Amino acid sequence: MKAIEITHNGGPDVLIYTDVPTPELKPGTVRVKLESIGVNYMDVYTRIGLYGDNVPIIPGGEGAGIVTEFASDVNDFNIGDSVAYTGVSSSYAEEVVAPADQLVKLPSGISTNIGAATMLQGTTAHYLLYSTFPVKDDDTILVHAGAGGVGLLMIQIARMIGCKIITTVSNKEKAQLAKNAGADHIILYTETDFLTEVQSITNGQGVQVAYDSVGLTTYEKSLASLAPRGYLVLFGQSSGVVPPISPLILNKGSNFLTRPALGHYLKNREELNWRTGDLFEWIKKDRLSIRIHEKIPLKDARKAHEDLESRKTSGKLLLIP
């Protein structure tokens, strides 16, 4: 089958479209012919070797497609089922063999493109707002990268909950996207200091939680934006890895710092069904809009990475086999 393979870590040019062995079916697994593959920042981290020396490797961990085969001990799926997943490795490919317990059936009316665009970023937005720091309708929250895939979903879900939403974006086009999603206050961080703006918006009180996927260039001011006993939720590092932090830095406001990971919030089938069930129900009822920025042929995966890293995207990038 065709796939993207990395034989050494580096820039987008190390993403090579090539022939690789078709994966073997194992007990408890399902073969999925992929129709749509999600592109995420964790794929960049894999490519550059942030997770260690892991080459050769097929990157990717999110996708959707059609069931073509399943192991004899799998009872929950049929040939032809439309399914989606997150957390299954080697997804930049024409096929993937996925553990059955990590697959969800896509409801009628949900396409494989929407499925692939929803799984990782949607479940991330869900766990951040409902589990890492369960927001309430009287909370004021700060969401960085409000026009990104996770950011747009977080704004929409937070709007359903009823809290006040402050977000940061890089330009006016992205500001309009964040506004359309439901943000109350939009800060162009390229023109204005976001900490000064947050303090002004909150009358110096700060926010109950700052959701920071940017990392190195924002974490200090995100922490300074917090109200007493507020939470800094670092769930990404698109600008670079945050250095070690002394616990004393949290003492100013008796604040909390957490670095969550999706796998710890999809620990079992119940959590997976809860989060994806909510997401797909909101999508079907037009309460949640999934923005697909672009669909790019799998063979052009390097373009997808270049666009993602240059912050040209707003919403979800998909690879199409």
Percent of the chain with pLDDT over 90: 93
DSSP symbol at 314: S
> For residues 115 and 82, is the Cβ–Cβ distance under 8 A?
yes
The answer to whether 94 and 201 are in contact (CB under 8 A) is no
Question: What are the tokens at 134?
Answer: 């369960």
Distance (Å, whole) CA 213 – CA 86 = 19
Domains in the chain: boundaries: 2-120+263-320, 136-259
Within 13 Å, how many C-alpha atoms sit on residue 196's CB side?
5
Measured between its terminal Cα atoms, the distance across the chain in Å is 10
This prediction's pTM: 0.93
6, 59 Cβ separation under 8 angstroms? yes
Give the separation between CA 118 and CA 107, rounded to whole angstroms.
Answer: 13
pLDDT score of 54: 81
**Cβ-contact 313, 307 below 8 angstroms:** yes
pLDDT digits (tens, 9 = 90+) for 142-183: 999 999 889 999 999 999 999 999 999 999 999 999 999 999
Q: Identify the DSSP state of 6.
A: B
Give pLDDT, residue 313: 79
Q: Which helix (H) or strand (E) holds 161?
A: helix 149-161
User: By C-alpha distance, which of 262, 256, 212, 257 is closest to 237?
Assistant: 212
**Which amino acid, residue 192?**
T
Give the Cβ contact number of residue 195 at 10 Å. Answer: 19
CATH superfamily of 136-259: NAD(P)-binding Rossmann-like Domain (3.40.50.720)
Buried b or exposed e, range 61-76, using 16+ CB within 10 angstroms: bbbbbebeebbeebee
Q: What is the pLDDT along the chain (321 residues), one digit of tens a residue?
A: 999 999 999 999 999 999 999 999 999 999 999 999 999 989 999 999 988 778 999 999 999 999 999 999 999 999 999 999 999 999 999 999 999 999 999 999 999 999 999 999 999 999 999 999 999 999 999 999 999 889 999 999 999 999 999 999 999 999 999 999 999 999 999 999 999 999 999 999 999 999 999 999 999 999 999 999 999 999 998 888 899 999 999 999 999 999 999 999 999 999 999 999 999 999 999 999 999 999 999 999 999 999 999 877 788 999 999
The CATH architecture of the domain made up of 2-120+263-320 is Alpha-Beta Complex (3.90)
Nearest to 250 by CA among 271, 274, 230, 276: 230
The pLDDT tens digits for 292-301 are 999 999 999 9
What are the CB-based long-range contacts (under 8 Å, 24+) for 101-107?
101/28, 101/269, 102/272, 103/30, 103/32, 103/77, 104/272, 104/273, 104/276, 105/77, 105/81, 106/64, 106/82, 106/280, 107/280, 107/284
> 292: which strand partners?
316
Structure-token pair, residue 237: 């590092």
